[in-house]
């Protein structure tokens, strides 16, 4: 008896996060057709709630980037801190800046809406691999649909052209990709500087204006922002640059 059936009994459970119910439905439907088990939530907060309290283990999170309260970036950050679950972005805007930010924060894939078969394949592969890494088996279910992924994410170095009159040497900017987990790979080397992304800056502005320019001091701003990655120094630095 040969086991022609290479279909594993793995259930790839996927959590889809989006404020737009229509998008949720479309995405969920698509994923379900591709044999994902899908659960949908309409906010990052709900997503975290499900991850933490549902008792279910998820193999993948697909989230929209732009969301009220907590956006995709923040959600990804939170997830990375507590779980080892790959996060993919699914967003209407495919601005390079957005994509870059996502990749830098460890997002596995950036997809444009609507979700497509290409993306599905990638997701499936990623989730499957991620799941099997606990076992020793090397069985990857490949539903090969070889389309050249034009939108595949480059692991390229971010190079910003600086047109200085000074002749600079080659700067080899190595970008270290780190999968945030409890792995004792390189915790001490967290030498990254804070990037004031648009969502982050928005929150900053929001808090500052809520406090009023009079009382908008770094300490209070920091507290109200409730963003663990930030320190008072960061806020202070940003504050004095943003408000002259």
Partner DNA sequence: GCTTTAATAT
Partner DNA sequence: CATATTAAAG
Q: Site residues (CB under 7 A) for DNA?
A: 193-196, 217-220, 232-234, 236-241
Name the β-bridge partners of 16: 40, 62
Give me the least distance between CB of 229 and DNA, in Å please.
Answer: 9
Give me the least distance between CB of 234 and DNA, in Å please.
Answer: 4
Choose between 134 and 190: whose C-beta lies nearer to DNA.
Answer: 190
| C-alpha to C-alpha distances, 24 to 40, 78, 102, 155, 177, nearest whole angstrom | 7, 21, 20, 29, 30
φ, ψ dihedrals at 41, nearest 5°: -135, 160
Name the β-bridge partners of 39: 15
Choose between 183 and 240: whose C-beta lies nearer to DNA.
Answer: 240
Choose between 7 and 231: whose C-beta lies nearer to DNA.
Answer: 231
Choose between 118 and 237: whose C-beta lies nearer to DNA.
Answer: 237
Classify residue 142 as left (phi > 0), alpha (psi -120 to 50) or beta: beta
Give me the least distance between CB of 231 and DNA, in Å please.
Answer: 8
| C-alpha to C-alpha distances, 151 to 96, 110, 118, 121, 124, nearest whole angstrom | 11, 9, 9, 13, 17
User: Whose structure tokens read 């300490």?
Assistant: 219
User: Whose structure tokens read 């594993």?
Assistant: 8
Give me the least distance between CB of 215 and DNA, in Å please.
Answer: 9
Q: Are 24 and 15 in contact (CB under 8 A)?
A: no
Give me the least distance between CB of 194 and DNA, in Å please.
Answer: 3
CA–CA separation, 181 and 6 (whole Å): 31
Choose between 27 and 77: whose C-beta lies nearer to DNA.
Answer: 77
């Amino acid at each position: 008896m040969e086991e022609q059936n290479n279909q594993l009994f793995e259930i790839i459970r996927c959590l889809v996060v989006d404020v737009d119910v229509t998008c949720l439905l479309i995405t969920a439907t698509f994923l379900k057709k591709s044999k994902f088990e899908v659960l949908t939530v309409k906010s990052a907060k709900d997503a975290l709630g499900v991850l933490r309290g549902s008792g279910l283990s998820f193999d993948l999170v697909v989230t929209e980037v732009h969301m009220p309260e907590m956006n995709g970036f923040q959600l990804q950050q939170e997830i990375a801190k507590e779980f080892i679950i790959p996060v993919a972005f699914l967003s209407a805007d495919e601005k390079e800046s957005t994509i870059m930010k996502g990749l830098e924060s460890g997002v596995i894939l950036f997809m444009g809406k609507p979700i497509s078969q290409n993306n599905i394949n990638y997701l499936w592969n990623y989730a499957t691999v991620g799941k099997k890494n606990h076992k020793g088996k090397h069985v990857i279910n490949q539903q090969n649909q070889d389309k050249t992924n034009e939108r595949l994410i480059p692991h390229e170095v971010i190079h910003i052209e600086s047109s200085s009159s000074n002749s600079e040497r080659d700067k080899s900017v190595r970008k270290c990709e780190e999968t945030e987990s409890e792995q004792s790979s390189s915790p001490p080397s967290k030498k990254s500087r804070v990037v004031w992304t648009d969502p982050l800056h928005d929150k900053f502005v929001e808090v500052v204006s809520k406090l009023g320019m009079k009382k908008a001091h770094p300490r209070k701003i920091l507290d109200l922002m409730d963003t663990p990655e930030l320190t008072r120094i960061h806020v202070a630095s940003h504050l004095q640059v943003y408000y002259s």
